[in-house]
Amino acid sequence: MHHQTTRVLAAFAIVGAAALGLSACSSSSGTDSGSSPTSSATSDSVLPPIIVELADADGTTVEVPLDNVVDLVTGDDENVAAWTAKISDESVVEFVPGKDDGSAQFNPGLKPLAEGTSDVVLTNSETDSTVSFTVTVTPAAK
């Protein structure tokens, strides 16, 4: 359980760092939203990833806005990098493999590319596990 918490926290840290990087690069819209971190975080923040527990995903439909990502929680700390994906429409969503860089584990994920629907079949070569579900990419959140 500790490793899963670490991975989820690592995912949120990456998203948070990306949010800071994006907000530092964005231009002013001409309106003063205030200089406090609270007010700028609510108007320009990046959404947390869509968390999908693979143990519960089989046969479901996962919705993800175009400007977000899907974090696939495998529940398997030892084989996180063994997951691969077959995607029926690769113009809609892209698979991002999991990895272990020696200091942290990163869950596999899905990155939306365009609005639409695609079937996804995930397979773990180490455990012979298979999970099938549908991903629907919706318009970007505003």
Residue range 2-17, pLDDT digits in tens: 444 444 444 544 444 4
Q: Is the pLDDT of residue 39 over 80?
A: no
Q: What is the mean pLDDT of residues 34-44?
A: 45
According to the model, what pLDDT value does residue 21 have? 40
pTM of the model: 0.69
According to the model, what pLDDT value does residue 134 have? 98
Residue range 91-128, pLDDT digits in tens: 999 999 999 888 999 999 999 999 999 999 999 999 99
Measured torsion, CA atoms of residues 15, 103, 120, 16, in degrees rounded to the nearest 10: 0
Which residues are within 8 A (CB) of 46 and not within 5 positions of it... i.e. 6 or more apart? 15, 16, 18, 19, 22
Residue range 47-79, pLDDT digits in tens: 799 999 999 999 999 999 999 999 999 988 788
Residue 59 backbone zone (phi > 0: left; psi -120 to 50: alpha; other: beta): left
Q: Is the pLDDT of residue 28 over 50?
A: no
